[in-house]
């Protein structure tokens, strides 16, 4: 009961003291607020980028693999990868039958160029030559028309399935189905359009056109090394399929025993691991900056509280002479310090979230702050106040009442 009375009385006196020294309170609050603001703004941007990256990886698919000449994350000499023997189209069948867990496999040939319809044109179009199986391997969804068929593939039909950006730019107000457009100067009839996907790993997935691979090779040259996209029946079997396909590809490419693989089997998980390492370093920098700023704010709180103890020495002496216990004095000053920190943390949280949102609004960077981060930010600020308020509170409680009463 007496402890609750001490807490209540300490809180009342602390608030009265803060109110009577408004300028000092504001300056101390700003010190803590800047630290929390800095920390939350950086963390908010990092968390937003993380969420955006996870969303982008989900579009690739957790149950997919891609066989290529180059790994997605190069860890050796670039020339070593460059000098590898090109992949060939006949490997697609070997991959498709290389494991009972493979649902589909499709070659991917790439060409970047211009798209044109009548007087409208757009650059940087990713032209992809593939097979109908790619509809199973990828997460692409046809919203109008159809995907091209085995008949289109075998007859080398000049047909295309185009992304939402091509529809928006080249066919504004027009149904693109049935119309012919030029892709790198070659005419293609539009048979389908894709649902919007946005940007994945910095590449606009809506600025794409898919055509039958045999048509692609006839138009742009047959001496090309394809990537091979593979769909696995379950994410749980991805590693198993990777091991099985490694053996299949080594046999198909006559890789001698003891020699390293002359191909790469890439998984989205590998990109996630590399990204986690990069953001881990960013988190470390953010925490370091925030802690330094909070340390400066904490030192400011300690300094102000020591000044407050000196100014109120006589008041403390009177309270001690009237029977106030040391615990009561300690609680009063600790609550005063933590109150300043909590208010500063709350204001810093609001401003930090606002800055993160502003950055995401005016730049491509995303921002998202988890509720737990906000709670931890305010709680940590209050703990800083308590920590740096211990010495001033102990000093106030240990003042000699007689000496304190003599203080002018």
CA-angle at 111, arms to 106 and 117, nearest 5°: 110
Q: How many CB atoms lie within 10 A of CB 261?
A: 13
Assigned token pair, 258 = 């003891």
Inter-helix orientation angle 22-60/2-20, to 10°: 100
- CA end-to-end span of the chain: 35
Give 264-323 pLDDT, tens digit per residue. Answer: 888 877 776 667 777 777 777 777 777 777 777 778 778 777 777 777 777 777 777 777
Give the three-state DSSP class for 372. helix
Q: How do the domains of the chain map onto residue ranges? A: 2-56+272-406, 85-262
Q: How many CB atoms lie within 10 A of CB 176?
A: 21
At residue 231, what are phi and psi to the nearest 5 degrees?
Answer: -105, 130
pLDDT at 228: 93
pLDDT at 215: 96
At residue 193, what are phi and psi to the nearest 5 degrees?
Answer: -125, 155
- Residues β-bridged to residue 106: 229
pLDDT at 151: 95
CB 65, CB 249: distance < 8 Å: no
Distance CA 191, CA 144 (A): 8
Assigned token pair, 41 = 């703004």
CA-to-CA dists, residue 28 to 22, 189, 259, 296, angstroms = 10, 69, 65, 10
**Over the chain, what is the mean pLDDT?**
80
Assigned token pair, 349 = 């949280």
Under-70 pLDDT residues of the chain: 1-25, 52-62, 76, 200-202, 272-274, 359, 363-370, 400-408
pLDDT at 248: 92
Assigned token pair, 147 = 């995907």
DSSP string, 125-187: EEEEEE-TTHHHHS---EEEE----HHHHHTT--EEEE-HHHHHHHSTTS--TT-EEEETTEE
Give 64-118 pLDDT, tens digit per residue. Answer: 898 998 887 777 677 777 888 888 888 999 999 988 999 999 999 999 999 999 8
DSSP string, 98-136: S-TTEEEEEEEEEEEEEEEETTEEEEEEEEEEE-TTHHH
């Amino acid at each position: 009961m007496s402890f609750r009375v001490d807490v209540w009385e300490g809180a009342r006196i602390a608030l009265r003291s803060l109110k009577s020294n408004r300028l000092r309170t504001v300056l101390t609050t700003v010190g803590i607020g800047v630290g929390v603001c800095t920390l939350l703004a950086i963390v908010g941007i990092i968390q937003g980028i993380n969420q955006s990256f996870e969303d982008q990886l989900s579009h690739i698919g957790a149950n997919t693999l891609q066989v290529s000449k180059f790994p997605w994350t190069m860890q050796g000499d670039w020339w070593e990868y460059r000098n590898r023997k090109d992949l060939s189209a006949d490997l697609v069948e070997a991959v498709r039958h290389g494991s009972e867990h493979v649902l589909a496999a499709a070659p991917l040939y790439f060409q970047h160029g211009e798209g044109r319809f009548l007087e409208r044109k757009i650059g940087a179009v990713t032209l992809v030559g593939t097979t109908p199986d790619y509809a199973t391997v990828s997460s692409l969804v046809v919203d109008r028309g159809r995907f091209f068929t085995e008949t289109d593939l075998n007859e080398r039909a000049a047909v295309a399935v185009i992304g939402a950006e091509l529809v928006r730019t080249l066919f504004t107000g027009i149904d693109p189905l049935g119309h012919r457009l030029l892709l790198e100067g070659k005419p293609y009839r539009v048979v389908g359009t894709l649902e919007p996907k946005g940007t994945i790993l910095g590449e606009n997935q809506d600025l794409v056109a898919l055509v039958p691979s045999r048509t692609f090779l006839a138009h742009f040259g047959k001496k090309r090394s394809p990537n091979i996209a593979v769909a696995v029946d379950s994410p749980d079997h991805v590693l198993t399929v990777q091991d099985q396909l490694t053996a299949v590809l080594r046999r198909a490419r006559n890789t001698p025993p003891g020699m390293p693989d002359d191909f790469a089997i890439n998984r989205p998980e590998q990109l996630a691991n590399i990204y986690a390492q990069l953001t881990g370093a960013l988190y470390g920098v953010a925490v370091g900056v925030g802690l330094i700023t909070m340390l400066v704010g904490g030192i400011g709180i300690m300094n102000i509280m020591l000044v407050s103890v000196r100014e109120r020495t006589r008041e403390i002496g009177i309270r001690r002479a009237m029977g106030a216990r040391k615990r009561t004095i300690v609680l009063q000053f600790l609550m005063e310090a933590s109150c300043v920190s909590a208010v500063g943390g709350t204001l810093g949280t609001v401003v930090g979230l606002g800055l993160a949102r502003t950055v995401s609004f005016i730049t491509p960077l995303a921002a998202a702050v988890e509720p737990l981060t906000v709670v931890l930010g305010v709680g940590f600020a209050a703990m800083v106040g308590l920590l740096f308020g211990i010495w001033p509170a102990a000093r106030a409680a240990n003042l000699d009442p007689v000496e304190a009463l003599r203080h002018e």
